[in-house]
Amino acid sequence: MEEIKKITIQSGVGKFGDNEDKIDNIELKMGQVVSIVGPTGSGKTNLINDIALFANRNTPSNRRVLINDALPPSEYIEDPSKNPVSYITQHTNFLSDLPVYKFLSIHAKIRNGHSNNDAVVEETLDFANKLTGEPINKDGSMTALSGGQTRSLLISDAVVIGNSPIILLDEIENAGIHRTRALELLRNYKKIFIFVTHDPRITLLSDFRVIMKNGAIQNLITTNENEKKAVLTIKNIDDLMLELRMLIRDGQYINPQFIRSKIVHCLSTIDGSGSGSDKNQDFSDVPDFHNIHNVQNVQNVQNAQNAQNIQNIHKELN
C-alpha cells in the first residue's frame, strides 16, 4: 500500500448551507499534530467524521478528503484491515470482558497475522501506562478499566498494535491522561494526529489549529513561539487546579497562602522571569513572596501533611 504523506481537506459548507469553509485546502502532513477547536456545536466532530469517512462531496458538509493529492483507494473504505485511520470517539469504549492481555494479543494477532505478539502487547501496555496515572492490571478484565485507563489503552492500541498512520482523537482531556507527556510520547511515532479539543495545553502543543464556527472552518492558526512558551505556565495553572481538587477530595482545608505561592510560581514561568522549576528560584523581586515563605515556615501539622500530599501529586504528574 502506498505510504501516506499527507491528507488534504477540500472546503465545503457549514451547518446553514450558505456559510462556506473559509480555507480552500487544508494540508495535514505526516508527523504533524493538529487541533480542531471551536465552541460546542461548531462542527469539530463533524469535521473529523469527514476525515474518518474520506468524505467525497457525499456528507452534509460537502467536503472532500484527499490522500497524497488523490482520491483514497476504495480498499481503505471497503476493507477495514486496510483502513489507515483509527478514530477514538467521544464515546468509544471496549465492548469486551476478556482479560486485557488476552484482548491485546488477539488484536495483535489479527493485525499482524502471527501468534508471537508478546513484545508488541507489552509495548502497548507500557505505553498506555505512561499515559495514565493508574497502572493497568493486564490480567484484569477490560470492562474493569477506569475511564482514564480505557482511553489510554485505546490510544496505545491504535498507535502500537493498530499502527495506524492517521489517528483521530475526539476530546481526550477529561479522561485522566497526562496531556503534556501524551503529546510528547505520541510525537515519537510518525503519524498524523488530529485532536478535537477544548484544552489550551493540547492546542498549543499542536503544530496548528483549525478554528470552527457554525459547522464551517473559519481559520487556520500556526502555533507561534510565544504560544509554545506559554505551555509550561498553562501546565502549572492546570496542576494547581488539580492539586486543589485532590486536596478538597481528600478532606483537607485550603490555605489561600498556598494558592498565592503557587500563582507566584506560575508567574515566574512567564517568558523571561524564571525557568519554571521549583528549585533555585529567585523570587526576591516578587512582592510578598518572603511573607508567603514565612507563612509556609510556620505551617501546622496539617499543612505539612498537605505538603507531603502535594509532593506525591507532583511525583505522579512528573
Ligand X SMILES: Nc1ncnc2c1ncn2[C@@H]1O[C@H](COP(=O)(O)OP(=O)(O)OP(=O)(O)O)[C@@H](O)[C@H]1O
Point out which residues bind ligand X (CB under 6 A): 13-15, 38, 40-46, 60-61, 215
Beta carbon of residue 14, minimum distance to ligand X (angstroms, whole number) = 5
Beta carbon of residue 48, minimum distance to Mg ion (angstroms, whole number) = 8
**Which does residue 215 touch among Mg ion, ligand X, none (CB within 5 to 8 A, set by kind)?**
ligand X
**Which does residue 135 touch among Mg ion, ligand X, none (CB within 5 to 8 A, set by kind)?**
none
Beta carbon of residue 313, minimum distance to ligand X (angstroms, whole number) = 29
Which residues bind to Mg ion, rule: CB under 5 A? Answer: 45
Residue sitting closest to Mg ion (CB): 45
Strands (E), the chain: 6-10, 25-29, 33-37, 64-67, 85-88, 166-170, 192-196, 208-213, 216-222
**CB nearer ligand X, residue 199 or residue 239:** 199
Sort strands 6-10 and 25-29 into parallel, antiparallel or unpaired.
antiparallel
- Please give the angle made by the CA atoms of 291, 293 and 294, to the nearest 5 degrees: 65
Nearest residue to 292 via CA among 251, 262, 249, 269: 262
**CB nearer ligand X, residue 43 or residue 72:** 43
**Which does residue 15 touch among ligand X, Mg ion, none (CB within 5 to 8 A, set by kind)?**
ligand X
**Which does residue 42 touch among ligand X, Mg ion, none (CB within 5 to 8 A, set by kind)?**
ligand X
**CB nearer ligand X, residue 125 or residue 172:** 172
Beta carbon of residue 152, minimum distance to Mg ion (angstroms, whole number) = 20
* Euclidean distance between CA atoms 64 and 72, whole angstroms: 10
What's phi and psi for 9, nearest 5 deg? -105, 115
**Which does residue 111 touch among Mg ion, ligand X, none (CB within 5 to 8 A, set by kind)?**
none
**CB nearer ligand X, residue 37 or residue 247:** 37
Q: Pull the grid cell for residue 256.
A: 489561600
Q: How many Cβ atoms are within 10 Å of 223's Cβ, its own excluded?
A: 18
Beta carbon of residue 287, minimum distance to ligand X (angstroms, whole number) = 41
**Which does residue 60 touch among ligand X, Mg ion, none (CB within 5 to 8 A, set by kind)?**
ligand X
Residue 37: strand pairing partners: 211
Residues 6+ apart with CB under 8 A from 89: 45, 170
